Structure 1
Amino acid sequence: MGTIVWFIFLFILISLIYWFFSQRVVPWATSHGDREQSVPLRDIFRWFSAGRLVFALLLVVFLLLPLLSVVVIKPGYRGVVFDVFRGVLPEPLGEGLHLVWPLVQQVTPYDIRTQTYTMVQRAQEGESDTLWAPTADGLKVGLDLTVRYKPDPARLPELHRNIGPDYAEKVVRPQIRNIARMVVSEYGILDVYSKRRAIIQQQIFDRLRGMFAKDGLICEEVLLRDVVFTPEFEKALENKMMAAQKVEQLEFEVQQAQKRAEARIKEAQGEAAAFETINRSIEKNPKLLEYMWIHKLANDVKLVVVPRDGAGGIIINPEPLLNAK
């Protein structure tokens, strides 16, 4: 649309230059020079008279006026109207075709769809930079942060009046960096590394939502995608985790040894209890001992010598007893 306006301006400028040369310069040169050799410029362009010039200008304006008056708002956009006499109009234009006063009203389109602003540690993942924030214990962490937001359609005139179309650089980026740093500075580096990450993400979202609302923006979601540590801290953290794993391994081995000792104690206690029961049974029935060792004999044993009451040995033929088994 601006190109058309410049075209009209150049057309009028060329017409004024022609009028100046044909009405002023050429008659002055004719009166001060050779009348026989000087030819007025208007005689060369006989077809280009003042009346035709006015008619051509009116025709161009008439043809271009509809083009300058028509504004098309694309889907997902709203148009904020600035009027030369009334300022920013309170009602933005919706999607579709609209008519405005040319050269009096200017329409600025605003994208009201969800937008994302990403701060990443790896350059190939996005166009922004990493957010490095200090922690409560004086260390630094890098945050891979994505914020989903959009302009409030009902407050677009206010946004246009106070900030303008470049609100992403003027409001979104500075507030994200400021709020994220403030929230992270309240936690230690191990808190950021542990399960408190979800709490930190929620606090950043709550504070950004309030700050964005003051400027006519809606914060929809905050995604804390990754936490990046310095190489020195990563090395120290790795060493600490390895030491913790060794301690856990030693504790596990101690527990296993204790369990094995407890098992042996219980086994010995069980054997002692069994022996005590056997002794009581033998005291009640002395023949039980003979039965037990005869019961354990192999099938092919024919002769056994055993001691008895300290009187030497006796020969017992176990075959009848074995056959009885």
Structure 2
Amino acid sequence: MAVQLLNAIGKLGVGLAIGASVVNSALYNVDGGSRAVIFDRFTGVSPNVVGEGTHFLIPWVQKAIVYDIRSRPRNVPVITGSKDLQNVNITLRILFRPIPKELPKLYTSLGEDYDERVLPSITNEILKAVVAQFDAGELITQRELVSQKVSEELTERAAQFGLILDDISLTHLTFGREFTAAVELKQVAQQEAERARFLVEKAEQQKKASIITAEGDSQAASLMAKAFESGEALVELRRLEAAEDIALQLSRSRNVVYLPPGQQTLLSLPQV
């Protein structure tokens, strides 16, 4: 009797384990920010998109393919040519996500790694077409316009594959070594030209200053000559110069800090 009971319990445990395994394989979860597509071995890919939560499927007959529908970044480097045949290295940063209702079609045509199949090809195509419309200088001075044209055309192209591009930006733009060297030489030449022009202007200003100084000295000499014709002006000038020298010497002396009252100096000499 006990043996039969144990056998019954064992069979029940096996049955429960099998049932739990079947139930577990029939459940699947769709996390937040995700959507699922159901593939059926008999009917193919279901056109319905499964939302978030826990769902049932038929084990070994149906399979759930879960997609992340949140925005994800991707950097795409491209080497292309400008309008004036200069090599341009561009890196485009894209924030992309799939259109949820397009997921069954996306899985059927592109699979789970759709971004690897689509983004590099369409980015190369659009960048080469847009950059070829500008020369190297315009790519630098009109970078905002270039970015706008790339964004508009790439967004329209990606929509054909069921993708939404939330943001597109040019994060890196450089030119070939030869062009960069030519630009640097041009900048150096411009700086040298500016420096030479500054030196020429400086020399002209110094020349003008010398002429003005010479004219001033000539006028001063003429005025002094007229003043000294009577002789009194020369004596007065020499007297003032001597007084200035005496005052300077006394100010430097440690023993005399002021001129004593009544002290005779050249300032108090009788006028001639």
**TM-score of the pair, normalised by structure 2:** 0.69
User: Do residues 100 (structure 1) and 57 (structure 2) align?
Assistant: yes
Please, which of 260, 274, 298 is the counterpart of residue 206 of structure 2? 260
| TM alignment of 1:156-305, pairs within 5 A | 156-192=103-139, 194-268=140-214, 278=223, 282=227, 291-297=236-242
For the 8 Å contact 2:93–2:168, the answer to whether it is kept is: yes
2:141 is paired with a residue of what secondary structure? coil
- Checking the alignment, whether the CA contact within 8 Å between 2:45 and 2:104 is kept in structure 1 is no
| Higher normalized contact order (CA 8 Å, seq sep 6+, divided by chain length) | 2
What SS is found at the alignment partner of 1:239? helix
Amino acid in structure 1 at the alignment position of 2:135 = G
Helix, strand or coil at the partner of 1:136: coil
Contact 1:299 1:322 (8 Å CA) reproduced = no
Q: Which amino acid aligns with 1:191?
A: E
C-alpha contact 1:142 1:229 (8 A) present in aligned 2: yes
The secondary structure found in structure 1 opposite 2:50 is coil
CA drift at 1:240 = 2.4
Q: Distance in 2 between matches of 1:236 and 1:224?
A: 24
Provide closer, same or farther for how the CA distance between residues 195 and 271 of structure 1 changes in structure 2, counting only shifts above 3 A.
farther
SS of equivalent residue, structure 2 residue 51: coil
Residue in 2 that maps onto 1:36: none
The match for 2:69 is 112
- By how many angstroms is 1:79 displaced? 0.8
Larger-Rg structure: 1
Which residue is equivalent to 1:69? 26
SS at match of 1:144: strand
- 1:78 counterpart residue number: 35
Kindly indicate whether the alpha-carbon contact (under 8 Å) linking 2:45 and 2:108 is maintained by their aligned counterparts in 1: no
For the residues of structure 2 that align with 1:60 and 1:89, how far apart are their CA atoms? 34
Work out whether 1:139 is the aligned partner of 2:86.
yes
Distance 1:168 1:243 in 2: 47
Deviation at 1:139, TM superposition (A): 1.8
- TM superposition shift of 1:78: 1.1
The CA deviation string for residues 42-62 of structure 1, in whole angstroms up to 9 with x for no partner, is xxxxxxxxxxxxxxxx98975
Distance 1:111 1:247 in 2: 59
Q: Given the alignment, which residue of 65, 88, 108 partners 2:46?
A: 88
Q: 1:102 to 1:300 in 2, by over 3 A?
A: closer
- Contact 1:73 1:79 survives alignment (8 Å): yes
SS of structure 2 residue aligned to 1:201: helix
Instruction: State the Cα RMSD in Å.
Output: 3.7
Deviations 1:95-129 (A, max 9, x none): 3211234455432211112222223xxxxxxxxxx
